[in-house]
Structure 1
Amino acid sequence: MTSTLLSPSTRRKLDESIPPLLRPLIRAYVLGYASAVAPRLLTLVLQYVTRRRKNKGVASAIRPHDSFITSLQRILRGGLELQRFPTFCAALVGGTTLLEVLLGTAFNRLLSTSQLTSLTRKRLLTWLSSFISAWLSLRLLQSKESDSFAETIGISQDSLENAKQETIRYAGRTLDLTLFASTRALDVIIGEIWSRKRSHRVTAEKWTRGESLISKLTDPTIFATSSALIMWAWFYCPSKLPKSYTKWISSAASVDSRLIEALRRCRSGELLYGKETGQAGLLQSMCADFKWPLEWGDPAKSIPFPCEVVHMGCGPNCEHHALSRFYRSFQWAMATYLPVNLFTKKRDLKGIKAAFISAARSSSFLAAFIALFYYGVCLARTRIGPHFIGKDTEARQKIDSGLCVGSGCFLCGWSVLIEKAARRKELALFVAPRAMATLLPRQYSLDKQWRETFVFAFSTAVVFTCVRENPKRLRGVLGKVLGFVMEAQPR
């Protein structure tokens, strides 16, 4: 963030050159622009470097440099458009602070005869200003039309000449943003209630070990539950997840798509054990690639297909496969986490050591996540499931129709216990909105969009009021960022 990239003296000078009332608006716009443009710029640079290495010495009609400059200009200009995220951030934060000033006098005069305290009136003013700004800023984003949320249908089919087409537009583009806000608002409300209860019971010396355990396990439980929903959606309903999210999970899982498709067909009833349904070719092609007996891929003969197929070349032992997955995933994750940690830490020996420890912990978490998912599948298919559900054809069909995947989904998220408590909070709040999105339609009727707008505005008002009154209640990095952005005075 800009607050960490600039020195305190430089930030102070920049702040002092801007009128106090406009500081939150400008900070919000700059941070919004950076968060919207920076990832795309990084992707562009990496693609450019990769392309230059591949095409080195190869003649091309269009020079890669020209293409890079054109894409660079498009990305930089795109972030400046009115209906984009930077303007939304400026309208949301700047609108809140400006409305507090504009409505302050009239609001206090209106409630001056009420029994409300000045602190309560201040909170209500902040909440109302935030609500109005959030409503209008989200409507600004929603006003941008997208072909992905539109459908063209024919309304007359009497003849080709008389046929007409109508474009129906759907809502849902801003759903992820709304779920993010609502998740944070729930965290603020529930956290405040629980904190007051804890304080009261500790004072009365009635705080129990069970309540202490609930406090410690809340974030891991949220993460594990959210991860289970996300992994289930990735396996059976990938359309419920953003494409980039699905692509990243697929890259981390490193699984043969034919295996996933076989388990999906087991669930849909296309692939039935003990019956010839014409599905043998799917896994038999996989058997041919891995040099396994072709009958392993025939559901009419192999009931069920061996767990070695799930292991994809790691041998028949489920535990060996889980350890192998952990090792390979750890290497893959370290290649990502270590450079990032080295970049963000100090360049001395202590900083380098901290970077390695942090990267190793995060890599272990991700590696355990992947290994537990696969081992959960094996537990249901081989180690535990058949002893409880049965070993007949019907039981095997039931296990591979969803129980084995469900077992993996249930186990994988508990790997978060490897992370530190503070990191668990961040991870839980990161995945919770994405998990909630899997339970809701990605597109819905435009006439119901006001409901989403209301939820976003209400939730944002709760979060912003919390930032004003008790910023420590808003957990994680978001609280620090909003505290910095909404502060009118220079640091």
Structure 2
Amino acid sequence: MALAVRPSRRGPLSFDAAPEILRPLIRAYLLGYATAVGPRLLTLVLQYVAKRRRKQLPPDLDDGSFLRSAKHIVRMGFNLQRFPAFCAVLAGGSTILQEPLKSIIDKAARSLSEAARLRLASWLSAFVAAWYGIRLLHTYESRAYTETIPVAADSPPDAQPQTIKLAGRTLDLTLFALARALDVVDKLLTSPWAEQCVSRLIDPLAFAASSGLAMWAWFYAPETLPRTYNKWITSAASVDPRLIEALRRCRSGELQYGKDTGQAPLLQAMCADFKWPLVWGDPAATIPFPCEMVHMGCGPSCEYHAVSRFFRAWKWSMATYLPLTLAFALRNPSRKAIIRAIISSCRSATFLGSFITLFYYGVCLARTRLGPLLLGDSVPCRQRIDSGLCVGTGCLLCGWSMLIETPSRRKDIAMFMAPRAMATFLPRRYPLEKQWRETVVFAASTAVVFTCVKENPDRVRGVFGRLLKMVMDK
């Protein structure tokens, strides 16, 4: 069985004039550059437009700063230690190295079948390319992954602070590759009937579990999540940080109901802002603090708050999804494409709105509706509910909003969440001497995915699979 990507439609990324063996490298570099530079430039432009509208800066100063920032972003994309070069090494290396490795394997392992030798050559070429590709990213020094150890009190007078390098900057990339490899292997081991079950049952279950872990981490261990993803959840949740801090202190034991532990000022400041009775924020006097505080101005009804949350989240999501889907639809504009883009945006906004609504209503269910009926209304029970059960209930429910999405979208969303859930069990920074383990995992996982793309692209699911197929097509 030959390992060859099936031909795809010719397009602007076909590069027919380039040598066939270099086409994957060129496509990968250009797509990597667009991925790394495009969003940052778009953010810069939007910030620039917003500032000009508000007239916060003099035009000449504002324009000069904008141009300098734009040039910096464009230049950084060409850095050999950045993502575009990594993509080029990965795709180009796995293509260029395959034939030389195939020749070596043909001589060294003649007992293997032709298909097995070709598959082994494909795996090894991708492994080597992935190894050197991620090592290229590791050579970039980031201030976030350096740590200065101060001089100890009993050190000699001429002792200097030590600066050590830490690993972990590429952890999200490695976990993404691992999740994709596990998905590919699972698809190889399952029958066509089982594949349908994966789409209908396993993908929603995987997303529900992954998103629940991510939301739990956002509440109680935000440092375990990627910084950008943490900021995105905070923006989508739209919740007063003092409320989150109060629930964290309930879990840590700093805030205890029925006791004066000096925590009253935290929620009383929130009461003052929302014009609630100050006694609501005193855990020694009010047990528990009212659910109306969780509703943040929506009144005492948990159900009304849930409906209100849904519509606010839906509007916020549409502002994100609709421009993107319309931009894709305008590549081949037609009335049908525009309608399909609007419907897709509405569905995705409904999914995200339901996710946020289920999380908040899960908190209310545990605090007000079901928790006191099932566990009791005593002070220890109230402490237990606010120490994690209410957040846990929200985490348990929110992910099932996935069922609103289409089966094809469920694959991509589940694969998006899985690496973030894995990351909650691992340190964001770790000693540099252990980095080789991450390198091995990334290289082996990437080799599995690339081998499957070359042999049968349909085994790599979702948008990522189609994109990878397009890149590797000769």
Is TM more than 0.5 here? yes
* Mapping of residues 272-421 of structure 1, within 5 Å: 272-346=256-330, 347-421=333-407
Q: Is the 8 A contact 2:151 2:161 kept in 1?
A: yes
Structure 1 residues 9 and 421: CA distance shift in structure 2, 3 A: closer
CA distance in structure 2 between the aligned counterparts of 1:66 and 1:281, rounded to whole angstroms: 45
CA distance in structure 2 between the aligned counterparts of 1:9 and 1:443, rounded to whole angstroms: 42
Structure 1 residues 165 and 16: CA distance shift in structure 2, 3 A: same
Q: What residue in structure 1 maps to residue 19 of structure 2? A: 19
Q: What residue in structure 2 maps to residue 170 of structure 1? A: 166
* Mapping of residues 229-248 of structure 1, within 5 Å: 229-248=213-232
Q: TM-score under structure 1 normalisation?
A: 0.91
Q: What residue in structure 2 maps to residue 227 of structure 1? A: 211
CA distance in structure 1 between the aligned counterparts of 2:35 and 2:169, rounded to whole angstroms: 18
Q: Is the 8 A contact 2:102 2:117 kept in 1?
A: no
Amino acid at match of 1:181: A
Q: What residue in structure 2 maps to residue 253 of structure 1? A: 237
* Aligned-partner SS, 1:81: coil
Q: Is the 8 A contact 1:157 1:163 kept in 2?
A: no
Q: Identify which of 123, 131, 135 aligns with 2:131.
A: 135
* Aligned-partner SS, 1:16: coil
CA distance in structure 2 between the aligned counterparts of 1:42 and 1:277, rounded to whole angstroms: 48
CA deviation digits over 1:305-348, x for unaligned, max 9? 11111111111111111011111111111122222222222543
CA distance in structure 1 between the aligned counterparts of 2:452 and 2:248, rounded to whole angstroms: 45
* Mapping of residues 89-100 of structure 1, within 5 Å: 89-100=87-98
Amino acid at match of 2:241: S
Structure 1 residues 59 and 453: CA distance shift in structure 2, 3 A: closer
Unpaired segments ≥5 residues, structure 1: 1-6, 200-211
CA distance in structure 2 between the aligned counterparts of 1:328 and 1:434, rounded to whole angstroms: 25
* Aligned-partner SS, 2:162: strand
Amino acid at match of 1:29: Y
* Mapping of residues 434-473 of structure 1, within 5 Å: 434-473=420-459
2:386 paired with 1:428: no
CA deviation digits over 1:66-110, x for unaligned, max 9? 111111111111011111111111111111111112222222121
Structure 1 residues 213 and 382: CA distance shift in structure 2, 3 A: farther
Q: Identify which of 475, 478, 481 aligns with 2:461.
A: 475
Amino acid at match of 2:46: L
Q: What residue in structure 2 maps to residue 266 of structure 1? A: 250
* Aligned-partner SS, 2:164: strand
Q: Is the 8 A contact 1:156 1:162 kept in 2?
A: no
Q: Identify which of 183, 191, 194 aligns with 1:195.
A: 191
Task: Calculate percent identity across the aligned residue pairs.
Answer: 59
* Mapping of residues 95-114 of structure 1, within 5 Å: 95-112=93-110, 114=111
CA distance in structure 2 between the aligned counterparts of 1:109 and 1:214, rounded to whole angstroms: 41
Structure 1 residues 82 and 213: CA distance shift in structure 2, 3 A: closer
Displacement of 1:198 in angstroms is 4.3
CA distance in structure 2 between the aligned counterparts of 1:29 and 1:75, rounded to whole angstroms: 16
CA distance in structure 2 between the aligned counterparts of 1:377 and 1:53, rounded to whole angstroms: 40
Displacement of 1:349 in angstroms is 2.7
* Aligned-partner SS, 2:191: helix
CA distance in structure 2 between the aligned counterparts of 1:332 and 1:164, rounded to whole angstroms: 51
Unpaired segments ≥5 residues, structure 2: 1-8
